[in-house]
Structures are given as structure tokens and as C-alpha cells.
Amino acid sequence: MTVAIQAAGSRFDATLKPAWDLIDIHKRLSVLPGRRESELSLNRGVIVFAVAAWQTYVEQLTLAMLAASAPPAGDPTSRVYGMLKANVERQVKRLNVPDTAKTLDLWRWVAFDPTPAWGFSYTWEKQRSLAHGGRIIGRATLTHPQAQNELDTWIQIRHKIAHGDAIPPEPRYVAFATGCRTGVRRLRRVDADRCLNFVQKLVGVTSAAAERDFP
């Protein structure tokens, strides 16, 4: 079943690629002089793609673990499993906000809890600088509750982007939308880069946990 779990990771990588492309475009544009308001749209697009990739991953991983739980043909528990399978597949189709609570609730149906693995460190590019080997790197070390909070915050930011709402100057958003103009929080390229690297790391540790639980 490791193959199916790896396939979920590959699907995530493919879904995330447009977001990395937007980051690359932004970096190439950033060498040009002047203020470019339109680049803010690239940053917002990155967040939307990142959350969409996470949702796709959650759905695909759930189905892979569900298949791994299937009893052998003729097993007396097959009927119960069939009911479980129908229920989980229905919930996967209904998943539209892949936040921590909904994701973990879904995974409980397949007896999967990755949260012990959700304490991790990750890095992202804060700034390009010739004085620092070409890049200044941001670093974060998270406990699993902090990782859950960061995931939920990115999902809330994506929700506000999708609905055209401003990102409020509340403490939970300030660390992730570090730009500010006329009192309105803005997503900078560094924020988009952080989001991508966070989600990618989260998927990596989750897949490793799934491969241990569903060999």
C-alpha cells in the first residue's frame, strides 16, 4: 500500500507545481525596478493553489488508506467494511474545507492520526541577498499544535482571498501576511514561499506516518 500512498504524494506535487511556477515568475519580476501592485495577485494565487493541493492530498491519502484497510475476500467483516467504505467515500466528496478539525475527523474513520509527526522544522526563502550566499532563509520549528494552527491560518487566508475579503490585522494573520499598506495586511512573496514550504513539509511528514501505519 506504500505505492498508493506515494501516488497521493505525487498527485500533491503535480497539483502544487503551478504554485511553484508563480513563485518563480515573481522572483524573475522582482529584479525589475518600481512597485508592481499586480504581483500581489501572484502571491494570492500561490496560497489558493497550495490549499487546493493539500485538499487533493487529503482526499487521495484517505482513499489509499481506506483501500489498505479492506479485509480479504470472503472475510466475515467484509459487509461492515463495505458500509465503512461507502461512508468514507461520501465524506471525501463532501470535504470542501480541509482544515485540521475536518481532516483529522476524516482520518479517524481509517484509524490514522499523524499529529505526533506534526512537530517539525522547515525553511523558506525570505529574501535574496548577495551578502548572504544569495538568499536569506527563514526557519520555523513547530510543535504539532502550532502546525495545526498554521495550517488553519493558511486555510482561513485562502478563504478570504476566494471571497475577496481583506486579511484582518489580527495576531494570527500578522505572522503570515507580513505586508501592510494603509492598515491592510498584504501577502508578500516571502509569505507565499513560506506557505508552499510549510504545506510541502506537512505532506512529507504525513506521508511518512501513513507509510509506517499502512505498510
Rounded CA gap, 86 and 30, in Å? Answer: 49
Q: What pLDDT score does 154 carry?
A: 98
Split into its structural domains, the chain has a count of 1
- What is the residue-wise DSSP string for 14-38? HHHHHHHHHHHHHHHHTTSSS--TT
* pLDDT tens, residue order, the chain (215 aa): 578 899 999 999 999 999 999 998 887 776 555 455 667 889 999 999 999 999 999 999 999 999 999 999 889 999 999 999 999 999 999 999 999 999 999 999 999 999 999 999 999 998 765 454 567 899 999 999 999 999 999 999 999 999 999 998 889 999 999 998 877 889 999 999 999 999 999 999 999 999 999 98
Tell me how many helices (H) and strands (E) the chain has: 7, 4
* C-alpha separations of 203 from 93, 98, 102, 139, 197 in Å: 20, 13, 16, 18, 10
Q: What is the pTM of this model?
A: 0.91
Q: In terms of DSSP H, where are the helices of 38-185?
A: 39-68, 78-94, 100-108, 144-162, 171-174
Cell numbers found for residue 47: 496560497
**Residue with the three cell numbers 493539500:** 54
Domain containing residue 92: 2-213
Q: What pLDDT score does 37 carry?
A: 60
- The DSSP symbol for 133 reads T
